[in-house]
Structure 1
């Protein structure tokens, strides 16, 4: 896990501002490459992402003589890549077929089920289990906006209720936030977010008429007769449970687990070994029918793994510089729920939302002379005990922003890019990076984020 905000701020003065150029360049290429030079990007994105990531890594190791940040980033990336890959393989062997007419109401029902499921198997797990059957059900009327709203609701907003739902909340749980804190404090914002986004989705989907497409009459007729759900590859559910359960094997929480120690930090490897072993057995013994039905291939996960290698390492300077600015004494008076909501959200949309959550948790706690490396103090900060109850809304603002704003771009949260890659492999032409933001995030997601901010964070009604 990336180190806390204080360490980032202490070392940021050594980071030259020009070092954020590789990160900006990579984001620019992700945004423009598939549109302006698609053939070149398709064949070279791996080399570009790795080269930019290694360039920043080399500067840290040899020019800055900073080994701490790269090591923490490496283990953070390793956990991210192993978990996403394991879940992808496990879900790829589970074939879910929804034999139903793809009406707007049915589509909303599917994403709402996904929003609830996300709190049990995570936004990544729920996304991977449902995106393929969602696409198949809508095959005669599929459009990019349906995938975008799936990302908004299932891959992000749905995971607000438990620490299992989204990586930022799980980091909070590991640091000391009570397990049911999210359910207690974020239920109404969750309900509001899901309701608003589902309403937007229903209105837009109602304008998507089947006559605009060429549906298979036999398929449509069969689906209208009765609604059925069919699942093949149920054995993979066992391995999926093991992969998710292994997330809790954190040596920083459970003493005695095998780990690698460095500079006072403990890095897990048992968890990753278990997840990779489960993924191997998933693939080795998966139902061939399920794999064929899902048209399983490794291309989507490889795209995510390579691109996020570059993102994780090139964003190190951006994280440190933003942490240094936020922790400056002149900004201490601005550490309010409103500031934390918009600052955490702005960074979560364009940087990985998990380290952003950790950074602003440190910042919020530092205002009260509390440290996030103390489980007792994190629990006090979450519940407001010992500090007059004023800290709970700060954590609510950080938690809401890190999860909800993760949907603002393709790179805000890992499942976003995964769903995009699966949709493209199914032949759906997804919008570019900027089209995603300007055609969908700003018109539909941003109004929901503003309303949640006003009612929950600003007025503190919930």
Structure 2
């Protein structure tokens, strides 16, 4: 989920696994009760139904609802379970997530990509495919923020909700599956020992196949979009303005790698065995501030830049990060259990990772399933040599296809819901700020994800992950 260059993008406490069950100052083992996942379920249901059935209440009070539910869960952990580690980790991950989202959103807000051509299905396909390629260089969040505005501008006379939905499918999620830079779980795998080129080698055909199917379906939709024919003459040009913000964007992407697991010299705060460094986040927030104050005001205005979408994401994800703590921990407990290990196959890894990546953070979900899969074969995710052997295959049975199943599912299934990946909700908010009526949470799933995306993901499973 959230995957954003996601999430976190890459800004997760790398050493944290949901199967690491130490808690409290004394390090006692604690298991959260199952009912503690109810606030997360309630929040998901309210996100799904609020804009449809009680819109006035939801739009006015959703910040209070999100903060209240998150506070209840965190208070239970701190007071009843005497476990302050998990809430602190969640708070750190949230700050890391929002720092990157903020830096990328503000930096790209001062960049204007101008596509001066007629809005045709082929022109849209070209722009979507370009966004998918860039997602592997600047992450799905960076690519989403950079391409959504020219995409909206190109289709301003014929824009429909499906344009935005396919943008989320292709640019905000599936596009970032080729490199570890593309999506947070892949980056975490790289930090754990998966070779950088592994994703290119093993994801290329599924990536191309998924994009081909989605772009073909999009062509059918766009071909049948009946609007008045635009008879204007265009020079078919492509230009980028806002060079100063391109520098800020490059710096924000580079700051992603400022992690203690890569550079041991970075100052950290050690809390009960967990090292947390906010050097990267301070740099990113500084970049966002400088990018905004040095941006060309005319470009900001032409992009329709405002902080409203960022504010909405900030408030909604307080609730998501706070309430999903017990859900992730319970999943990790089950995955590490003997029963969980007995159910581990490439098929269950793909669909299990996909299910939870649709509604939870896909980075810890990825780590949980990789750790459980390796543990079932006597390997340890904390040992780089074990991870390298697991990714290479030949030592552990079905390890390559298992890792492939987890990696593809954690990236691809993030498009199943608005909250499956960080840029999804941001793109939705930007589209709504532009006056586009977007489907509600449930309508997104039942009108688009399930009938369009899920069959594509099923075909990917059949073609590349079944014997």
Equivalents in 1 of 2:32, 2:267: separation in Å? 33
More deviation, 338-347/266-275? 266-275
Task: Give the counterpart of 2:121 among 93, 104, 118.
Answer: 104
The corresponding residue for 1:134 is: 151
Contact 1:5 1:363 in 2 (8 A): no
Equivalents in 2 of 1:182, 1:8: separation in Å? 30
Match runs of 1:178-327 below 5 Å: 178-211=195-228, 220-222=230-232, 224-327=233-336
The alpha carbon displacement at 1:254 in A equals 1.8
Equivalents in 1 of 2:296, 2:112: separation in Å? 9
The corresponding residue for 2:341 is: 332
Task: Give the counterpart of 1:407 among 409, 415, 418.
Answer: 415
The alpha carbon displacement at 1:385 in A equals 5.2
Give the structure with the higher percent helix. Answer: 1
After superposition, the Cα gap between the structure-2 partners of 1:9 and 1:445, relative to the gap in structure 1 and judged at 3 Å, is: farther
Are 2:146 and 1:146 aligned? no
Contact 2:209 2:460 in 1 (8 A): yes
Partner-residue secondary structure (3-state), 1:125: helix
After superposition, the Cα gap between the structure-2 partners of 1:445 and 1:12, relative to the gap in structure 1 and judged at 3 Å, is: farther
| TM-score (norm. length: structure 1) | 0.94
Are 2:193 and 1:176 aligned? yes
Partner-residue secondary structure (3-state), 1:173: helix
For residues 161-180 of structure 1, give each alpha carbon's deviation from its aligned partner in whole angstroms, at most 9, with x where no partner exists: 00110111111111111111
The alpha carbon displacement at 1:351 in A equals 0.9
Match runs of 1:445-456 below 5 Å: 445-456=453-464
The corresponding residue for 1:6 is: 19
The corresponding residue for 1:356 is: 365
Equivalents in 1 of 2:91, 2:381: separation in Å? 21
The alpha carbon displacement at 1:375 in A equals 2.0
Are 2:100 and 1:77 aligned? no
The alpha carbon displacement at 1:391 in A equals 0.9
Are 2:375 and 1:366 aligned? yes
Partner-residue secondary structure (3-state), 1:261: strand
Contact 1:252 1:266 in 2 (8 A): no
Contact 1:232 1:287 in 2 (8 A): no
Equivalents in 2 of 1:309, 1:385: separation in Å? 43
The alpha carbon displacement at 1:348 in A equals 0.4
Match runs of 1:390-405 below 5 Å: 390-405=398-413
Partner-residue secondary structure (3-state), 2:276: strand
More deviation, 418-427/316-325? 316-325
For residues 386-421 of structure 1, give each alpha carbon's deviation from its aligned partner in whole angstroms, at most 9, with x where no partner exists: 436x31111100000000000000001001000000
Q: How many residue pairs are counted as aligned between the two chains?
A: 450
The corresponding residue for 2:353 is: 344
Partner-residue secondary structure (3-state), 1:315: helix
Equivalents in 1 of 2:243, 2:227: separation in Å? 33
Equivalents in 1 of 2:57, 2:413: separation in Å? 31
The corresponding residue for 2:434 is: 426
Instruction: List gaps (5 residues or longer) in structure 2.
Output: 1-11
The corresponding residue for 1:45 is: 62
More deviation, 25-34/377-386? 377-386
Match runs of 1:108-123 below 5 Å: 108-123=125-140
The alpha carbon displacement at 1:8 in A equals 4.4
Partner-residue secondary structure (3-state), 2:246: helix
The alpha carbon displacement at 1:9 in A equals 9.6
Instruction: List gaps (5 residues or longer) in structure 1.
Output: none
Contact 2:180 2:186 in 1 (8 A): yes
Are 2:73 and 1:56 aligned? yes
Partner-residue secondary structure (3-state), 1:163: coil
Equivalents in 1 of 2:435, 2:296: separation in Å? 24
Equivalents in 2 of 1:209, 1:105: separation in Å? 15
| TM-score (norm. length: structure 2) | 0.93
Partner-residue secondary structure (3-state), 2:32: coil
For residues 77-118 of structure 1, give each alpha carbon's deviation from its aligned partner in whole angstroms, at most 9, with x where no partner exists: 111110011100001111112111111111111111111010
For residues 329-363 of structure 1, give each alpha carbon's deviation from its aligned partner in whole angstroms, at most 9, with x where no partner exists: 12322211111000000000011111111111111
After superposition, the Cα gap between the structure-2 partners of 1:8 and 1:434, relative to the gap in structure 1 and judged at 3 Å, is: farther
Are 2:179 and 1:162 aligned? yes
RMSD: 1.6
Contact 2:108 2:142 in 1 (8 A): yes
Equivalents in 2 of 1:387, 1:58: separation in Å? 42
Equivalents in 2 of 1:39, 1:143: separation in Å? 24
Contact 1:5 1:359 in 2 (8 A): yes
